[in-house]
Homo-oligomer: A and B are copies of this chain.
Amino acid sequence: MAKYQAPLKDARFILDEVFAAEQEWADMAATEEVNVELAEAILEEGARVTQAELLPLNLSGDAEGARFENGHVTTPKGFKEAYRVLAEGGWMGLGGNPEYGGQGMPKMLTVAFEEMLYATNTSFALYPALNAGACLAVDSHAPESVKQVFLPRMYAGDWLGTMCLTEPHCGTDLGLIRTRAESLEGDDPLLGLPRYRLTGTKIWITGGEHDMVDNIVHLVLAKLPDAPPGTRGISLFLVSKHLLDADGQPTTPNAVSCGSIEHKMGIKGSATCVMNFDGAEGVLIGEPHQGLAAMFTMMNYERLSIGLQGLGLGEVAYQSAMDFAAERLQSRAPTGAKAPDKPADPILVHPDVRRMALEVRVWNETGRAFAVFVGQQLDRVKYHADDAVKADADALVQFMTPIAKALLTDRGFDATVMAQQLYGGNGYCVEWGAEQYVRDARIAMIYEGTNGIQAMDLVGRKLYRNRGAHVASFAALVRAELERQADDAQTRPFAEACKTELARLERVSEQLLARADDNPEELGAAACDYLNLAGLCVYSYLWLRMARAAAHGLAQAGASGEGFYRRKLALGEYFVARVLPRAVALEAQISAGAAPLMAFSLEDFAPEQ
């Protein structure tokens, strides 16, 4: 059965002891009022509300699913009520701009709350997750009147936002979209902006239609009549489900409707809608033809958020599996009975069961530190006064974002699969919940840019286009940490491992740049393995920092507090000994280059008949 308590202790360790969050927040005007006490209070209340309201609806929400009838979507029983509790608690505007009613909390902190949302109820979590992204796009690119009308309602959770990108014939390649926007006579009276009429069909729109709020705010990619072809001809529009009166109150329905919802492998409580725009009224967000750039403002945030889906599901899968494993007795330990009074030993006596448990746990705990690290860089880009700090942070965000999205979701999925394996046959039966985590985690590798697209983004835009400048920024950060720990005997094995991985990343990057100059196919051929290799290097750096914090904590802790730090160090040793060796294989696979992939013609992929 589902067992989950938000990992507050680990979040505190990462924020306070690894990343000195309070100091970080004090350094920036926008976050200077955030301190450890406030952060603590937010995380504790976040844990309470998600555990009380969302966790109990997870299994039932999957069984019931979102339902579609006559253009209306009904969310599973209890979702609406739980949503009201969260909205009234102010959780929809947690990271929002305080000028418009948001709470202005740093991403470094909100990632911990997002993880809880996904862990307790991924289907539910997607409604607020999309809203947060839509708010960010509006805040960054919309005219002032739009912000004033829409943001306070969206932060309050009275209205919820969506992102409408994909069309039936194109997802990855948005340059192919067909939805068109035409000028309408006369400005919008409330917003004082030119009006457009949008026509087209969008698919896979999360929360495109549902019963939780009175109004839904669609951000829609479309082409203006004079649009240049391809991705340079895409504009971004805001389309409100209802037209608004002079007071900004929803009135007549706009010409946008839900045609159907998808039947999916998982996230069944999340309504995935086909949205038909039949001349729907909307306003332009940002500059004409610059819609994709506007979308990319939110992409870095959303991609990290989807990474947190993988992490949250990995964590709840771990906790639930450990609850099962503690009770399940099968066979005896290889070194003799550990529970001789019982008919068999708990399965965790078996080394191979431990391997699965630690494999899940190590990706969760390292992933959590990674999310906070990326959150820190996002905050610096957004808020830091020092341009040099900002520029460094921006380089790191660019490089880390595709890694965060793909690695956290790939390893999150693996974590749910391995946690399911720990149950034996029970893991395959619906009532235990383990199989739902697998199904819910699977989509995270696909949406918000498939993990293959993330890998291509990494090797193409983030490595090749700047000739490795981002790698150099990261390397400088790692070297500074290695320097700081040069005399630390306790963390030496972690420093050695990190040094090895950094050298590998630099070597592989350099070789790949050289090969790609001759043949651009080399980038794609290396992409996925390179992302994983870079991820292992980043994780070895995070373990260096965590090991130092844990060694320090261990030295300070009394007997009652030492367990946490001892386990953290042991998990780090597991990482170095049993996870990092995979980098050697990745390097060899990358070295093999594009030739083995390109030896096949397009027709060669057809099944042999």
Q: Confirm or deny: A35 has a beta carbon within 8 angstroms of a beta carbon on chain B.
A: no
9 tightest A-B CB contacts, nearest first: A351-B524, A581-B588, A577-B592, A265-B435, A334-B520, A585-B585, A173-B330, A351-B525, A263-B430
Q: Confirm or deny: A85 has a beta carbon within 8 angstroms of a beta carbon on chain B.
A: no
Q: Flag if A7 contacts B585 (CB, 8 Å).
A: no
Report the minimum CB–CB distance from A232 to chain B (whole Å).
14
Q: Confirm or deny: A596 has a beta carbon within 8 angstroms of a beta carbon on chain B.
A: yes
Q: Confirm or deny: A350 has a beta carbon within 8 angstroms of a beta carbon on chain B.
A: yes
The interface bits of chain A over 162-179 (1 if a CB of B lies within 8 angstroms of the residue's CB, else 0) are 000010011111001000
Q: Confirm or deny: A354 has a beta carbon within 8 angstroms of a beta carbon on chain B.
A: yes
Q: Flag if A204 contacts B425 (CB, 8 Å).
A: yes
Q: Flag if A528 contacts B352 (CB, 8 Å).
A: yes
Which of B166, B203, B581, B597 contacts A354, CB < 8 Å?
Answer: B597
Q: Which of A192-200, A278-286, A499-507, A567-575 is found at the contact surface with chain B?
A: A567-575
Within 8 A of B (CB), among A302-333: 318-319, 322, 325-326, 329-331
Chain B minimum-CB-distance residue to A325 = B605
Q: Confirm or deny: A465 has a beta carbon within 8 angstroms of a beta carbon on chain B.
A: no
**With A265-B439, A570-B596, A600-B358 given, is the CB distance from A450 to B421 under 8 Å?**
yes
Report the minimum CB–CB distance from A380 to chain B (whole Å).
28
Q: Flag if B442 contacts A424 (CB, 8 Å).
A: no
Q: Confirm or deny: A582 has a beta carbon within 8 angstroms of a beta carbon on chain B.
A: yes
**With A577-B592, A577-B596, A581-B588 given, is the CB distance from A445 to B421 under 8 Å?**
yes
Chain B minimum-CB-distance residue to A332 = B173
Can you report 29 A-B residue pairs in the complex whose CB atoms are below 8 A from each other? A170-B330, A170-B344, A171-B425, A172-B331, A172-B424, A173-B330, A203-B425, A264-B430, A265-B429, A319-B607, A335-B520, A338-B602, A351-B523, A351-B598, A352-B455, A353-B452, A354-B597, A355-B597, A357-B605, A361-B605, A421-B450, A425-B446, A428-B443, A435-B442, A567-B608, A570-B604, A573-B599, A574-B599, A578-B592
Report the minimum CB–CB distance from A522 to chain B (whole Å).
8
Q: Confirm or deny: A133 has a beta carbon within 8 angstroms of a beta carbon on chain B.
A: no
- Tell me the bound Cα distance from A588 to B585 in angstroms: 10
Q: Flag if A9 contacts B421 (CB, 8 Å).
A: no
Q: Confirm or deny: A456 has a beta carbon within 8 angstroms of a beta carbon on chain B.
A: yes
Chain B minimum-CB-distance residue to A447 = B425
Complex contacts, A354 vs chain B, CB 8 Å: 597-598, 600, 605
How many copies of this kind of chain does the complex include?
2
Within 8 A of B (CB), among A406-456: 413, 417, 420-421, 424-425, 427-431, 435, 438-439, 442-443, 445-447, 450-452, 455-456
Q: Confirm or deny: A184 has a beta carbon within 8 angstroms of a beta carbon on chain B.
A: no
Report the minimum CB–CB distance from A212 to chain B (whole Å).
23
The interface bits of chain A over 455-489 (1 if a CB of B lies within 8 angstroms of the residue's CB, else 0) are 11000000000000000000000000000000000
- Tell me the bound Cα distance from A132 to B524 in angstroms: 46
Chain B minimum-CB-distance residue to A353 = B452
Q: Flag if B322 contacts A606 (CB, 8 Å).
A: yes
Complex contacts, A161 vs chain B, CB 8 Å: none
Interface residues in chain A, defined as those with a beta carbon under 8 Å from any beta carbon in chain B: 5, 7-10, 166, 169-173, 176, 203-204, 262-266, 318-319, 322, 325-326, 329-331, 334-335, 338, 343-344, 346, 348-358, 361, 413, 417, 420-421, 424-425, 427-431, 435, 438-439, 442-443, 445-447, 450-452, 455-456, 519-521, 523-525, 527-528, 563-564, 567, 570, 573-574, 577-578, 581-585, 588-589, 592, 594-600, 602, 604-609
Chain B minimum-CB-distance residue to A171 = B424
Which of B429, B435, B450 contacts A424, CB < 8 Å?
Answer: B450
Complex contacts, A588 vs chain B, CB 8 Å: 581, 584
Complex contacts, A581 vs chain B, CB 8 Å: 584-585, 588-589, 592
- Tell me the bound Cα distance from A570 to B335 in angstroms: 47
Which of B8, B334, B353, B582 contacts A585, CB < 8 Å?
Answer: B582
Other 12 A-B pairs with CB < 8 A, given A319-B607, A421-B445: A7-B607, A173-B329, A262-B428, A265-B430, A350-B452, A351-B525, A353-B452, A355-B528, A421-B452, A574-B596, A582-B585, A583-B585
Report the minimum CB–CB distance from A539 to chain B (whole Å).
15
Report the minimum CB–CB distance from A13 to chain B (whole Å).
9
Report the minimum CB–CB distance from A31 to chain B (whole Å).
27
Complex contacts, A583 vs chain B, CB 8 Å: 585
Q: Flag if B585 contacts A352 (CB, 8 Å).
A: no
Q: Flag if B439 contacts A421 (CB, 8 Å).
A: no
Complex contacts, A358 vs chain B, CB 8 Å: 596-597, 600
Which of B318, B350, B523, B605 contacts A334, CB < 8 Å?
Answer: B523
Which of B330, B357, B607 contacts A171, CB < 8 Å?
Answer: B330
Complex contacts, A428 vs chain B, CB 8 Å: 262, 264-266, 442-443, 446-447
Which of B166, B338, B352, B527 contacts A425, CB < 8 Å?
Answer: B166
Complex contacts, A609 vs chain B, CB 8 Å: 5, 8-9
> In this complex, which of A357, A456, A581 has the most chain B Cβ atoms within 10 angstroms of its Cβ?
A581
Report the minimum CB–CB distance from A33 to chain B (whole Å).
29
Chain B minimum-CB-distance residue to A451 = B421
Complex contacts, A329 vs chain B, CB 8 Å: 169, 173
Report the minimum CB–CB distance from A325 to chain B (whole Å).
7
- Tell me the bound Cα distance from A551 to B562 in angstroms: 63
